[in-house]
Amino acid sequence: MSADPAVASAAPPETGRVPRRQNRVTRRSVLIIDRLADWSITVGGLLVIVAVFGIMLFLAQVTVPLFTGAALESERSYPLRTDGRRTLILNVDEYRTIAFALLEDGTVTVAHAPTGTPLAGQKLDLGPSPVSAFGRTIRRDNLLIGFADGTVRFGTVSVTAEIADADRVPEGARQLDERDRTDGRLVYSRIPGNQVRIIGLRLQLDEPVRVTPDGAAIIAADYRVGGTAERPVRSFVTVDANGKVRLSRAESRLNLMTRQMRTTVANAELPALPEGVRAKAVLLTETADTVLVGTEDGTVFRYDSRDFRNPRMVERAAVLSDGEMLTGLYYLVGEQSLVVTGSRGTTDVFFLLERRNARGSDGFELVRAHRLENQGAPIGYVSASPRSKMFVTADASGGVWVRHSTSSRTLLKLQKTVDAASGYSGLVMAPREDGVIALTAQGEATAWWISAPHPETTLATLFGRVWYEGYPEPSFTWQSSSGSDSFEPKLSLVPLIFGTIKATVYALLFAVPIALMAAIYTSEFVHHRVRSVVKPAMEMMASLPSVVLGFIAALILAPIVEDWVSAVLMVFIALPLSLLGAAYAWQFLPRHVALRFGGLPKFALMFVFLLIAFQLCLWTGGLLERLVFAGDIKAWLAGTIGGPMGFTTLLLMPLMLAVVVWMSSRVLSDRLEDAVGATGRLTAGLVALGRWIATLVAALLLALFAASLLTGLGYDPRGGVVGTYVQRNTLVVGFAMGFAVIPIIYTIAEDALNAVPEHLRGASLACGATPWQTATRVILPTATSGVFAAVMIGMGRAVGETMIVVMAAGNTPIMDWNIFNGLRALSANIAVELPEAVRNGTLYRVLFLAALTLFVMTFVVNTLAEVVRQQFRRRAASL
Amino acid sequence: MAMDAVTSETAPPGVGSRQGVMPQRAAAGRVRLADLSAQGEPWLWCLGGALALGIVMILGFLVLVFWNGVVTFWPKPIEVVRLTDDSVIAGLPTRSARFRVGDQVLAALPAEKRAEIAANGGFADRTLYRVGNYDLYGEDFRWAADFEVVDRSRPMDLVLVERLEWGVFVGRIAAFTRGGETVRVDDPTSPALAEAWRTARARWHEIRRIEKGEIGTVNHHLEQERLRLRRALLEHPDGGPAAEAARARFAERESHYQAQYEALAARAQALKAQHEAETVTLIDVNGREKVQPLGTLVRYHAANQLTLLGKLDVYLSRWAEFLTDEPREANTEGGIMPAIFGTVAMTLLLVIAVTPFGVITALYLREYARQGRLVSIVRISVNNLAGVPSIVYGVFGLGFFAYIVGGSIDQLFYPERLPSPTFGTGGLLWASLTLALLTVPVVIVATEEALAAVPRSMREGSLACGASKWQTIRNIVLPRALPGIMTGIILAMARGAGEVAPLMLVGVVKLAPELPIDGFFPFIHLERSFMHLGFHIYDVGFQSRNSEAGKPMVFVTTLLLIALIFAMNLTAIIVRTRLKRKFAGSQF
């Protein structure tokens, strides 16, 4: 830029005024302000970088805890006064206040869980016969104790928790730690709001019930409670010393007159185990429809007990490798995952799945779904979390590992030196998954307080295939919530990323050709007056709120498209045909006429032919439906009628056209040229038209041939790019999103084409090139990078577009390329689920990860576009 | 084809090339095939067709929105339709469509109708009637196929009643009560009815004013006192004289406000009793009656005897209600004033936040930075900021602004309200800040353009006269660039006003109980959640009980939103072209 004297003189008067001769030293304040402005504007300018990277870092920082596994917060060991007696169960309450153990003589020893301070114990009177087995429900409170004389007793050892005002704490209560005080028996925990939580123990034991008529000792038992609170149905399964497995059902009825519980027990004997195998563990489901018996040699016998009176063995599965002894069978919450532990440290998770040729006679078989890290020593105890698929395993050499089934991950490895011969005698995971307590045979308890806020997420579960409960195989699945407590969240981002890509691809397939062609036409072939109207109008459309497009797409467009599917498909055929036909007809016009009407009238004519094409589509849609889709397109799409031949032909047409055009231009063109020679305009036009029609026919024949070949090979596009029709589908999303993206691509591409220096255009035209040749051989190659940037920016917008996909895409997280099916995009998923997500919960952080993924995707695309664009500008400036 | 083009372009003219000899041939009216393919006529038509398609799509879209938005409030006639099964429906014809007749329906039809449908290719026409009377029949809309219609008529005495609840009523007004006596209505346009209705409406407005305005004020003061007490107790957790004083003060104030409240409530109760007592009896075409307070009729008109002027009156009154009133019936009826208010308030706040940030960055890029790698990075950042999906800003706004910044503000300044958050959740302030971040690139780019358009000579002149750099920018550059900056701000407003996705995370709600600006200190409540036109479209279109019933409302809201945004854009474009013209001579 050169200084222009005219403008300089037009500068404001205060700079032009001749200063009076006075102090020529610049005022300090001016200098200071100048320095200040310098400094603050530079900082302000760089703030943009901070903003971009700040957003990225913040999103990343929120997602980091997803991958950190578990952390050990504190560790404390203290004695639990077992005095050499065997421990039946070890438990801790929900608030990690008291830890207690039920011993074989019925004593319950209690300690303050965080500090180990002993509290007053209680005792259950178990009677003379020694305890030989016990089982308990998943909720841990209900116990079944089996005795050596063949009887069982039901009992509960439960924690009572009550909220009360702080003044309920008795005078002289002893301080245990900063939260808890005790009167020796109850623990008072201070909670916010000037209140206390009073924690105590309640014990209860029913009368003995005889199970084995011959008095054989019960060696293994499992227990479940179903039914209602008023009329509980207690199911339990026992194995006696003779190897007999019995399923029993006890029904208790409260006699309203006498206020007495009457318990009746019904027994059913299960088919006997083979000779010589010893039952090691037994499991029962809550509905008592399946019984599992594990034997020491690593075999699991599965019984179908849906018919209570007549249970039958349906499967015999070897669950461990040869020679490894089974040490335990456990259900995780929900009773869908079976944990099998072995004497060589194996921890495997099995699912019961329906399979073709299944091992089980009922069509199901136990399938190893997860193989967890080997612990190296026999695993003695497992304790499952009551709220998720997390569990702890303790081995004989003192290792206590915190694991998660879904992610197959070992979250934390805890270690304690124990006596190798006796090992542990109890293990429990705190109900809120925030602690593990292990008890050695010598009576020393160790409490590890841990934090594992997001055990189910790893990079592998978020981006890889995961085998979820009840699924026939590992899969990419997104299902973040459900009504049930034992639900396994399925948080794979892959279906969402796929949905985003699918929507983007279909939208760009629609938008890019239209936008680029329109941009070339606007920049090179229309009158500048048309351009000065069309360009700003398009720019204005770029700021159209996407919620409006989404609304129109979902509530107006989707029903229309549904009614006129075949007519809509017809557009892709009729529109180019009608325009090209018009073009060939135009070639017949005498040169002076063509030149005279080459401007606006020709453009107007294009509109006319466009509308003609649309009308044609309405008329011929039915024809297409009859010809290709067997008369009913939706039934055809669903695969119930018709063959794939016709549609495959249509799909192949563009490819075949390209092939034919390429071949004819290589082989035929020059010969045809020589054969025809210089001729009248009419003849030349006729020849061109003839060649075009011949090309079409040849392509159609080729496509038919290829399609019949493909059909013969068994190819069917249904199930691929097309398939069952859903009203909110990708076609509609593609239209709407294309509508949103076209103005952006168009504007930027047009700018790039327009930025090509005028002298290149002039030179080309002066050399005798036609405008068409100039556009394709000179302008487009020069502007390629700018046009590329336009497409990339359009893509960035399509990737992040939210409202259109929320409203028009149906939001089903499925992975297929079917254009007539819906999708769930990352952005829509965030918009739908984040308002409901608990702050700092797993879903919250996973959704932040989704946002980060989106950010990174667009960051790459945009940075690429901007780098290309900067290069283009530099090149364009140097031309 | 392609080969020819290459030859003709690469070969030098005159060396026997086809191009070189073309002019003579053209003059003789003789052409070769290559000449035709050089013109690329078929391709040109494809390009032109694409542009035409784009324009047709845009026009079609605008016409669709505009037409539907404009006609929604125009009163339609009520048609009474007698069907072949002798039932009668009365409703407003909404739209017609062709449909494929199901096999079962077809089988039940008489032969001649079947033949008629078969001749139509299995299709028949049907009309969707808005029948209203949801409280009586449980449906708002009903399709009537042409083959089941016996006759249609438009009786003059049918009335369309818009009500506060249960949507519209289509039928007749049979009677109303005035001072305990029942007055029969023969003509729905009777002045006595109109008079009674106006009184009842005035009473209803009075009740609402007392309940929302006066009782609301008392409740607000009471809540303030409660919070003050809590704050005092939190500051003095162990009691003491200060806490006692606060308790005493609260008890005194509470009884004071309680008395006020009771007086107001009694007044409202008396009015309500009167409101309930004056009823109107509505009868539908099947003779079913509905009695309800006269004051709950929002508007009524005898749809089939309206003159053009009468229609215009209804039309304008509906627009007035739409623009100035609050929504009813899960947002599908009534007005959208809170949404307009929320959109405008958010957009204005956005401007306050976005302007300094955008202008300073542009100044840095144009006036301060040395061109180099750093500027290149800044530009990439700006473009990324423009390209990052808006929903990501929403996520950031929720996580950072609302939860972290807002959470800290709550801890420091509003401990008495915890655990219910004040700033620690989505709200007006966070929404505007989030959108400011989103729209800052627009301002940067526009400001940069404007700065670039200020001739260098002016800067040099200023500097040569001894002005400092900042003085030059402040006094010479910025004033010249002001129209351009304004353009940028307006474009940012347009972008911000239309953005919905991030707002769903940071503070927009479907129904805000209070406006963000009201008469209570501090008058502007930045922490409140608000309603928004764009979200209103999403909410009514997709979350309401009957999307068909909400559709007209959505169209009008859409029209309003688009009009607002296009008006802003148009202003920006006009300002920009003016600016370009003004500096056109001084560029080079």
pLDDT tens sequence across A753-763: 988 888 899 99
Q: How far is CA B426 from the centre of its chain?
A: 19
Find where tokens 């072995």 sit: A342
Above 70 in pLDDT, residue A5? Answer: no
Residues of B in contact with A827 (CB under 8 A): 389, 391, 501
Res. A512: pLDDT tops 90: yes
Instruction: Show residues of chain A in contact with B40, CB under 8 Å.
Output: 770, 772-773, 776
Nearest residue in chain A measured CA to CA from B559: A548
Q: Which of B201, B205, B269, B220 is nearest to B513 (CA)?
A: B220
* B297–chain A nearest CA distance, Å: 30
pLDDT at A363: 87
A606 with B49: Cβ contact below 8 A: yes
Residue A226 has pLDDT above 80, yes or no: no
Question: What DSSP letter does each residue of B542-587 carry, written as one string?
Answer: HHSS-HHHHHHHHHHHHHHHHHHHHHHHHHHHHHHHHHHHHHGGG-
CATH code 1.10.3720.10 for B337-583: yes
Disruptive mutation site among A695, A770, A778, A872 for chain B (greatest number of B CBs within 10 Å): A770
R_g (Cα) of chain B, nearest Å: 34
Q: How far apart are CA A195 and CA A182, in angstroms?
A: 15
Query: Is B468 within 8 Å of A30 when comparing Cβ atoms?
Result: yes
The per-residue pLDDT for B3 is 38
B152 vs chain A: nearest CA distance in angstroms?
28
Given CB atoms, is B467 within the 8 Å cutoff of chain A? yes
Residue A843 DSSP code: H
Looking at residue A213, its amino acid is P
Q: State how far the alpha carbon of A364 is from the alpha carbons of A167, A270, A286, A303, A359, in Å.
A: 59, 19, 19, 12, 7
What pLDDT is attached to residue B326? 86
The pLDDT of residue A862 is above 70 = yes
Domain chopping of chain A, boundaries: 494-569+609-643+716-877
Q: Which residues of A touch B540 (CB under 8 A)?
A: none
Which residues, 6+ apart, have CB-to-CB distance to A126 below 8 Å? A105, A106, A145, A147, A153, A205
Question: Mean pLDDT over all residues of chain B?
Answer: 84
Q: pLDDT tens across A357-402, in order?
A: 888 888 899 999 999 998 888 888 899 988 889 999 998 888 899 9
The predicted model gives B286-306 an average pLDDT of 88
A210 φ, ψ (degrees, to nearest 5): -80, 135
Structure tokens at A549: 């497009």
Contacts with A547 from chain B: Cβ below 8 Å? 498, 500, 534-535, 537-538
Give the Cα separation of A381 and A102 in Å (integer): 16
Per the CB < 8 Å rule, is B361 touching A45?
Answer: yes
Q: Does the pLDDT of residue A311 top 90, yes or no?
A: no
Outline where B454-546 has alpha helix (H): 456-464, 469-472, 478-498, 533-543
CA A433 to chain CA centroid, Å, is: 24
What is the nearest CA distance from B274 to chain A, expressed in angstroms? 44
Mean pLDDT of A803-827: 90
Chain B residues in contact with A609 by the CB 8 A cut-off are 45, 49
* Nearest CA-CA distance, residue B570 and chain A, Å: 8
**Distance between CA atoms of residues B512 and B532, nearest Å:** 10
Other Cβ atoms less than 10 A from the Cβ of B101: the count is: 19
Distances from the Cα of A755 to the Cαs of A769, A773, B547, in angstroms?
Answer: 20, 18, 47
pLDDT at A607: 92
Closest B-chain CA to A857: B388
User: Who among A5, A526, A687 is closest to B33 (CB)?
Assistant: A687
**Residue B587 pLDDT:** 43
Evaluate if residue A189 carries a pLDDT over 80. Answer: yes
- Contact (CB, 8 A) for A312 and A304: yes
Short-list A486, A467, A485, CA closest to A477: A467
* Chain B neighbors of A522, CB-CB under 8 A: 51
| % of chain B at pLDDT higher than 90 | 23
Q: What is the pLDDT confidence band of residue A23, given thresholds at 50, 70 and 90?
A: low
Tell me B296's DSSP state: G
Other beta carbons less than 10 A from residue A387's beta carbon: 12
Find, among A248, A236, A352, the residue nearest to A284 by Cα.
Answer: A236
Q: Which residues of B489-527 are buried (b: 16+ CB within 10 A; e: fewer)?
A: bbbbbbbbbbbbbbbbbbbbbbebeebbbeeeeeeebbb
Q: For residue B278, what pLDDT is reported? A: 87
Report the distance separating Cα A806 and Cα B501, nearest Å: 9
Chain B residues 84-103 with a CB less than 8 Å from chain A: 97-98
State whether residue B200 sits within 8 Å of chain A by CB.
no
CA atoms within 13 A on the CB side of A502: 32
Nearest-CB residue to A15 (from B40, B41, B476): B476
DSSP string covering B28-75, please?
HTEE-HHHHHHHTHHHHHHHHHHHHHHHHHHHHHHHHHHHHHHHTTS-
Output A262 or B406, whichever has higher pLDDT: B406
- A56 contact residues in B (CB cutoff 8 A): none
* pLDDT for residue B199 is more than 50: yes
Residue A734 has pLDDT above 90, yes or no: yes
Instruction: Determine the Cα–Cα distance for residues B418 and B555; give it in Å rounded to an integer.
Output: 41
Q: Closest by alpha carbon to A179, among A265, A115, A104, A101?
A: A115
Kindly report, residue by residue over A291-303, the tens digit of the pLDDT: 899 888 888 999 9
Q: What is the pLDDT of residue A202?
A: 87
Contact: A552, B35; criterion CB under 8 Å: no
Closest to A443 measured CA to CA, from A74, A87, A75, A76: A87
Of the candidates A813, A859, A863, the residue with the CA atom closest to the CA atom of residue A833: A813
Q: Do A769 and B9 touch (CB under 8 A)?
A: yes
Residue of B nearest to A860 (CA): B384
Please tell me if residue B211 touches chain A, with a CB cutoff of 8 Å: no
How far apart are the CA of A679 and the nearest CA of chain B, in angstroms?
A: 5
Q: Which two tokens stand for residue B6?
A: 């290459």
Q: With beta carbons under 8 A apart, name residues in chain B contacting A44.
A: 356-357, 360-361, 363-364
Yes or no: say if B387 and A793 are a contact pair by the CB < 8 Å rule: yes
Report chain B's terminal Cα–Cα distance, integer Å: 44
pLDDT of residue B526: 84
Checking B302-308 for CB contacts under 8 A at 24+ apart, the result is B302/B156, B302/B157, B302/B158, B302/B159, B302/B188, B302/B189, B303/B75, B303/B76, B303/B77, B303/B78, B303/B92, B303/B158, B303/B159, B303/B160, B304/B77, B304/B78, B304/B154, B304/B155, B304/B156, B304/B158, B305/B156, B305/B189, B306/B75
pLDDT at B19 over 80: no
The number of helices, as runs of H, and strands, as runs of E, in chain A is 22, 35
**Is the pLDDT confidence value at B486 over 90?**
no
CB pairs under 8 A between A and B: 420
Pairwise CA distance, residues A84 & A105, whole Å:
11
**Do residues A412 and A70 make contact, with C-beta atoms less than 8 angstroms apart?**
yes
Q: Tens of pLDDT along B210-225?
A: 988 888 888 888 888 8
Confidence (pLDDT) at B580? 67
Query: Are A146 and A134 contacting, i.e. CB atoms less than 8 angstroms apart?
Result: yes
Chain A: give the shortest CA distance to residue B290, in Å. Answer: 33
Fold observed for domain A494-569+609-643+716-877: MetI-like fold (1.10.3720)
Mean pLDDT of chain A: 86
B339 interfaces chain A, CB cutoff of 8 Å: no
What angle in degrees, to the nearest 10, is found between the helix axes of B337-363 and B533-543?
130
- Asked whether the beta carbons of residue A37 and residue B473 sit closer than 8 angstroms, the reply is yes
| Segment B49-105, tens digit of pLDDT | 999 999 999 999 999 999 999 998 899 899 999 988 888 889 988 888 888 787 788
pTM of the model: 0.88
Cβ <8 Å between A546 and B500: yes
Average pLDDT for residues B536-548, to the nearest whole number?
79
How is residue B305 annotated by DSSP? G
Report which of residues A711 and A679 the model is more confident about: A711
- Inform me whether the pLDDT recorded for A673 exceeds 80: no
What's the one-letter identity of residue B322?
F
Separation between Cα atoms, residue A153 and residue A781, nearest integer Å: 88
Lowest mean pLDDT across A625-639, A727-741, B468-482, B573-587:
B573-587
Q: Residue A174 pLDDT > 50, yes or no?
A: yes
A177-181, B564-568, B575-579 — which is least confidently predicted? B575-579
Please name the member of A33, A547, A681 whose beta carbon is closest to the beta carbon of B29: A681
B494: left (phi over 0), alpha (psi -120 to 50) or beta: alpha
Residue with tokens 């000579």: B457
Asked if the C-beta of B64 comes within 8 angstroms of chain A's C-beta atoms, the answer is: yes
Longest Cα–Cα distance in chain B: 113
Average confidence (pLDDT) over A702-724: 88
Judge contact between B262 and B150, C-beta under 8 A: no
